[in-house]
Amino acid sequence: MASLAGAGLQFHTIAHHTSVSEDARAAVLANPGFGTHFTDHMVTIEWTDGRGWHDAVIGPRQPIALDPAAAVLHYAQEIFEGLKAYKQTDASIALFRPEANAARFNQSAQRLAMPELPEAVFVEAVEKLVQIDRAWIPDGEGASLYLRPFMIATEAFLGVRPAKQYKFIVIASPAGYYFKSGAPAVSIWVSDYTRAAPGGTGAAKCGGNYAASLVPQAEAIARGHDQVVFLDAAEHKWIEELGGMNLYFVFDDGTLLTPSLTGTILPGITRDSLLTLAREEGLKVEESRYSLDQWRADAGSGKLVETFACGTAAVVTPIGKVTGRDGEFTIGSGGSGQLTQKLKAKLVAIQRGDAQDKHGWIRKIS
């Protein structure tokens, strides 16, 4: 197993006293927002061709020095992950399915011609950062410590080939509520742009996909919508996903449908977890393709009753209104549906340690 090579890497810790006063930290944690505040430490691990992974350090969070010719700055050899540490109801700390993030990280690495990181090292890096920065985990419903592992090509070389030097980094950011439960459903715009083409990088979590989604997302905002939904590149007909969240459709007979993983859709861990939870509820869940025309027709006839988006950052977000070049349609009553709420509550209860973890998804941190 390639992913075991390099395991047993020793982490060198450079502990560092916070540069932030306790009062300032408390103020941040009372209202963390998303992605603007960061903890005191970071993990870095180096990879060099011929040597593999080395120099694993947990040290003060600080700027990184890069040669201006570093490959990541020119050809976007970059991948990332997103996962959360939760303060559980019993005050313990837990990660949700970090092994799944580690596995997906290596899938992304393969697609971007980058070295794989042993899954155990990925998980250990994340755990060690959470341990040292545990004072930065906010309390309260919906709050968490958002973890951002990523890898960049650092070799100074302008030729076009996979780099021979990389840096893996983990940073952490306290996160508050994305959307409150019972908050109004979001409105989405059907983009004319495409996110991913067959054979492209749609299934990899790489920064380049996000760079290409910024114009479509800005267009949606300019038109008064919250998010953008992408259709398939070949026929511009089949629903794929939002810029950073997967989609679920709920029908009046209780069936759930989510677009199948065709290679152009990001395999979300939230999507996968909800597949399991829905089946456990006795619901019929289908992974198949679903067209925009059918979505509109089913919303009109009442056959389709709910639609929601899901992902680590916002968990589960109801979709109320869809607008495209051919006009707009409303889903259900335009608010949050019952099954959407129920599935979200089930997932959140497991993440917070309020419901039994039957699937081994919770990894406690001591």
Ligand X SMILES: *Cc1c(COP(=O)(O)O)cnc(C)c1O
Nearer to ligand X (CB atom), residue 58 or residue 347: 347
For residue 311, state whether it binds ligand X (rule: CB under 6 A).
yes
Q: Which one of 138, 268, 332, 337 is in contact with ligand X (CB under 6 A)?
A: 268
Only segment of 17-25, 153-161, 239-247, 294-302 that touches ligand X (CB under 6 A): 239-247
Element (H, E) at 292: helix 292-301
Q: Alpha helix locations (H) across 3-70?
A: 22-30
Counting beta carbons within 10 angstroms of the beta carbon of residue 325, is it exposed (0 to 12), middle (13 to 18) or buried (19 or more)?
A: exposed
Give one word for 302, left, alpha or beta, with left for phi > 0 and alpha for psi -120 to 50: left
Query: Per CB under 6 A, which region of 54-62, 179-187, 247-255, 268-276 contacts ligand X?
Result: 268-276
Residue 178 DSSP SS3: coil
Pairing label, strands 83-87, 144-153: antiparallel
Asked whether position 39 contacts ligand X by CB under 6 A, the answer is: no
Rounded CA-CA distance 43/57 in Å is 6
309 near ligand X, judged by CB under 6 A: no
C-alpha dist (Å) from residue 65 to 22, 24, 62, 160, 167: 29, 28, 10, 22, 11
Least gap, CB of 270 to ligand X (angstroms): 3
For residue 142, state whether it binds ligand X (rule: CB under 6 A).
no
* Cβ proximity to ligand X, 259 vs 320, nearer residue: 259
Binder among 170, 188, 269, 350 for ligand X (CB under 6 A): 269
Query: Toward ligand X, which CB reaches closer, 100 or 125?
Result: 100
312 near ligand X (CB under 6 A): yes
Q: Are the C-beta atoms of 325 and 316 separated by less than 8 Å?
A: no
Question: Using DSSP, how many helices (H) and how many strands (E) does the chain show?
Answer: 8, 18
Position among 6, 244, 259, 320 found at the interface with ligand X (CB under 6 A): 244
Count residues near ligand X (CB under 6 A): 13
Comparing CB distances to ligand X, the nearer of 41 and 97 is 97
Q: Indicate whether 84 belongs to the interface with ligand X (CB under 6 A).
A: no
Stretch that binds ligand X, among 112-120, 176-184, 244-252, 296-304 (CB under 6 A): 244-252
* Candidate ranges 116-124, 186-194, 266-274, 321-329; the one touching ligand X (CB under 6 A): 266-274
Three-state secondary structure call for residue 201: coil
Q: How far apart are CA 287 and CA 221, in angstroms?
A: 30
Least distance from ligand X to the Cβ atom of residue 178, Å? 12
User: 93 pairs with which residues across the strands?
Assistant: 87, 365
Binding site residues, ligand X, CB under 6 A = 82, 205, 241, 244-246, 266, 268-271, 311-312
